[in-house]
Amino acid sequence: MASRRDFIQQGLGLTAASFLSVPLIGCASSAPVRHSSMTASTKPANKPVTLASGAGEMPRAADQLAPSGSGMSGMEPPPDIFDAQALDLEFWLRPRTIEVVRPASKERAKLLYWKDGEIIESAYQDLCHLLRDVNGGNETRAIDPKLFETLWGTQAFVQRYGIDAPLEILSGYRTPASNQKLREAGVPAARQSLHMVGRAADIRIANLNAEVLGGLVKSFRQGGVGFYYRAGPRGGWIHADTGLQRTWKG
C-alpha cells in the first residue's frame, strides 16, 4: 500500500477541511517584541536581513490582521486523504519556524516567528524584508500575517511526510511600477495584483510539483491560489494570497 508521502509525490491534490475549525493564529495586539532565531548563511554580507533604509518603521504584525474576502469559487476541494492526526490542535499550537530562500537575492533564512500564541515582532519584520521587492529598489512593506500562516502551514505540513526543503519565494511584495514592468514583459501579473499590497507570494518547494503544492495551499481556504505549470527541471510555481477564495491556472 502506498504511503501518504507516495500520495503526495504522485501528484494527488491535498486537502485539510478540518483546518477551518482551528484558528491558524492568535496574535494579540499587545504582543511583546521577541528576539528571532534567524540564520542567513547565503545572504550577501552587504545585504543584512533588516528593514530597508528609508522605508520608515513598518506597522506591527498585529496591526496587519485585516479580514480577508469571503468569496467562494465554484471549485470544491479534493477528497480528504489525511487522518485526524494530521489536523490535531497540537500542530497549530507549537512554535512556528519557517525556512525560506529567495533565489533572486541568494538569501536564505530560518526564523522562529510565532510562539505561545504571539508573533515574534523582530522575526516578522525580517520576513517582511525577505519578501521585499528585489526588482524594484528593494522596497519593503508590511506583509499580511495571514499569508505567513499559509506559508508556514504548507511547509510544516509536508515536513510531516518527509519533504524537508525550504520554501522558495519567487515573488513577494511588488511596487506598482514593478508589477507594471512584469505586465509589459508578458509575465502573468494582474493589474490590481495583491502582491502590491503585501498579500501575495509566488512560491515553490523542491521535489513537490505545482499541482500538489497548489492543492495543499488551496486546502487552507485562506485566499486565492494560482497554478502556474512550466516545463523544465524546476517546474512551475504557485501563487498564494489572502484575498477572495478562488482558483485559476496560468
Q: How many CB atoms lie within 10 A of CB 66?
A: 11
CA distances from 188 to 168, 226, 249 (A): 18, 10, 10
Residue 68 has pLDDT above 70, yes or no: no
Which of 25-29, 60-64, 187-191 has the weakest average pLDDT?
Answer: 25-29
- Looking at domain 4-28+38-47+75-249, does it have CATH number 3.40.50.300? no
pLDDT value at position 59? 53
pLDDT at residue 114 tops 70: yes
Strand residues in 105-199 grouped as ranges (E) = 107-115, 118-119, 167-171
Q: Are 146 and 68 in contact (CB under 8 A)?
A: yes
Q: What is the pLDDT of residue 64?
A: 52
pLDDT digits 0-9 by tens, 13-51: 333 333 333 334 333 333 344 544 444 444 443 343 433
Average pLDDT over residues 117-122: 97
Rounded mean pLDDT of the chain?
A: 74
**Residue 10 in this model has a pLDDT that exceeds 80:** no
- Report which listed range, 8-22, 63-77, 215-229, is most confident: 215-229
Point out the least confidently predicted range of 96-100, 102-106, 201-205, 219-223. Answer: 219-223
How is the beta sheet containing 96-102 ordered, strand by strand? 118-119, 107-115, 96-102, 167-171, 200-205, 237-241, 225-228, 247-249
Do 174 and 195 touch, CB atoms closer than 8 A?
yes
Q: At what angle do helices 210-219 and 145-159 cross, to 10 degrees?
A: 120
Per-residue pLDDT band at 233 (split at 50, 70, 90): low
Where does the pLDDT of residue 173 fall: very low under 50, low under 70, confident under 90, or very high at 90 and above? very high
Nearest-angstrom CA–CA distance, 250 and 68:
23
- β-bridge partners, 55: none
Q: Pick from 151, 168, 148, 175: which is nearest to 42 by CA?
A: 168
Number of H helices, E strands in the chain: 6, 8
Q: Residue type for 231, please?
A: A
Place 226 in a pLDDT band, splitting at 50, 70 and 90: very high
Residue bearing the bigger pLDDT, 64 or 223? 223
Under the banding of pLDDT at 50, 70 and 90, the label for residue 65 is: very low
Prediction pTM value = 0.69
CA-to-CA dists, residue 136 to 142, 171, 175, 187, 195, angstroms: 16, 11, 7, 15, 13
